[in-house]
Amino acid sequence: MELAYYSDYAVRLVNTEEPARNKDALTSVEAVRELFGANQQAARRTTDADVTRFRSVRARLRAVFEAADGDDETLAVDLLNSLLLEFPVSPQISGHDVRDQDGRPDWHMHLADHPSNATAGYTAIAAMGLAFHLTEHGVDRLGLCEAAPCRNAYLDTSTNRSRRYCSDRCATRANVAAYRARKREEAERTGRSAETAQPSTAVTDR
């Protein structure tokens, strides 16, 4: 369904910040406009005021992922509902410029851009997309990367709900770290065993 695509808006916004590394990519109008991707008409509405507003929304969306990652489904839903109420969507049927194999319009649901400002439009789309993903696939499909200190948000679309990392790079880094930790533990165990096996060297009196 077309609405599933919009959930990525939430992920893109949340991941503009890496709190553990004190990194924030959302520092300019240009950075905000990049979040819109191909939707340049909406991006052009961005002003300096939207930078601060986007940061505020980002914190609220991250809180949804944090609640979901912490297995607090009710809190995740409540936080997302507050965004949906504050930033309502304007659904439309679209398809005039998309044709199926018979040349007929490929009708699908589309979330129209909010006319007031860039933040309102983006947030409405992001929140609705995330809500659709949550209700369709479950709260546990909203995750935060386990490869510390990353903690980027991701949407788990795996068939067995097994995703734990935001990217292959983080998965590889975590696996390497785990491997090295196991090797260190094995070396320490071997060292302790060798010490235990040493024969007594006590000297007896004559």
pLDDT values of the chain reduced to their tens digit, one per residue, 206 residues? 456 678 999 999 999 999 988 999 999 999 999 999 877 788 899 999 999 999 999 999 999 999 999 999 999 999 999 999 999 988 888 776 667 778 788 787 777 766 678 999 999 999 999 999 999 999 999 999 999 899 999 999 888 888 899 998 998 888 776 677 777 776 667 766 666 766 555 555 54
Least Cα distance to 1 among 89, 82, 94 occurs for 94
What is each CA distance from 197 to 50, 186, 190, 193, in whole angstroms? 68, 16, 11, 6
Please calculate the CA angle 125-6-98 and round it to the nearest 5 degrees: 105
CA 43 and chain centroid, separation: 21
Tell me the torsion sign for CA atoms 192, 193, 198, 202. positive
The two tokens of residue 193 are 């065993």
Report DSSP state, residue 205. Answer: P
Separation between Cα atoms, residue 25 and residue 27, nearest integer Å: 6
